[in-house]
Amino acid sequence: MQTKYGLLTYIEQNHFFNIGDYIQSLAAKQFLPQVDEYINREKLNSYDKGKTKLIMNGWFTHNTQRWTPSGDIVPLFVALHLNTLSASAMLNEKGVDYLKKREPIGCRDEYTVETLKKKGIDAYFTGCLTLTLDSYKVDDSERGNDIYIVDPLYTYPLKKVILSSPKRFARAIIKGEIFKLGEIKKHLQQFIDNDVLNNACYTEQFICSKPGYSDDDKFAMAERLLHKYARAKLVITSRIHCALPCLAMGTPVIFINGFDNIIDSCRFDGILELFNYINVDSKTGAYSANFSLNGKITKDIKIKNLEKHLPLAEALKEKCNRFISNS
């Protein structure tokens, strides 16, 4: 029987979807000879279309009651992240047994490594599969002068989220979030020059869904973003699935870390050190950088990526290629 290959897709959450999920799947897709099936991350337990190889990378999972994957899925666990919200439910007796039979488990971050090891599961750090997206890299002669600002400090109150439903709007008023809508710009102005803020290309990876968006549409959107980032002069972002692909593509990137919640920050153990980054106190706006920031970020800033990701990227490529080539 001919081997089948699957690719992860995703369920929208509250009328929004994260294009970063689809960027992660594009990273997996480059290793596949073809895509025979889209397999939704939240419905892995009900997949019944025959033995199908699936690279299992990324954030798991919203629907913990549908974990574990069905026996028709032949998984490769690399760049796996178990979030604090889901880890305890996923690592019940059945979940632990499933992973132990497929160890060692490659993990996107050190937090997931330690979480699995505490359950007696052999686990190791791989970094994120999007570090392998150098296939989208262009020659420096094709790099323009555009500076992209992508979802900076996106855990702050956002107008598009607050206005997305009457319930969210009411909750924002009760919590006082509606009075903090200007804080993103206020905090960014402390370390980014106004000329950059006024003239940058602003892009979002957390997208409000529209009727008729298919998975193919979302993959196409993800590819368009990667092509833009590949040609950028500089990218400033709080999205790891913008920043990590930029490392792979050789695009100078500065990561803005304004996360003060363990649910968010647990994703960065082992990853944050790959970037030039700025830490921001979400309450005061006080900031610090791990690189020489003389004054503010201007359009003339000269910054080089740290290139620490390269060994991780090569190891991930080798692991995925071996999985696909082995019958």
**21-72 tens-digit pLDDT:** 999 999 999 999 999 999 999 999 999 999 999 999 999 999 999 999 999 9
Q: Using alpha carbons, select from 54, 52, 57 the residue that is nearest to residue 21.
A: 57
Under the banding of pLDDT at 50, 70 and 90, the label for residue 215 is very high
**104-140 tens-digit pLDDT:** 999 999 999 999 999 999 999 999 999 999 999 999 9
Long-range contacts of 260-265 (CB under 8 A, 24+ apart): 261/155, 262/84, 263/83, 263/84, 263/85, 264/155
pLDDT of amino acid 240: 97
Q: Which residue has the higher pLDDT, 224 or 163?
A: 224
d(CA 143, CA 134): 15
Q: What is the mean pLDDT of residues 9-17?
A: 86
pLDDT of amino acid 166: 75
Under the banding of pLDDT at 50, 70 and 90, the label for residue 178 is low
d(CA 290, CA 197): 21
Contacts of 183 by beta carbon, 8 Å cutoff, 6+ apart: 153, 156, 157, 285
d(CA 317, CA 294): 37
**255-314 tens-digit pLDDT:** 999 998 777 788 999 999 999 999 999 989 999 999 999 899 999 999 999 999 999 999
Structure tokens that stand for 48 in this block: 């019944």
Res. 250: pLDDT tops 90:
yes
Under the banding of pLDDT at 50, 70 and 90, the label for residue 177 is low
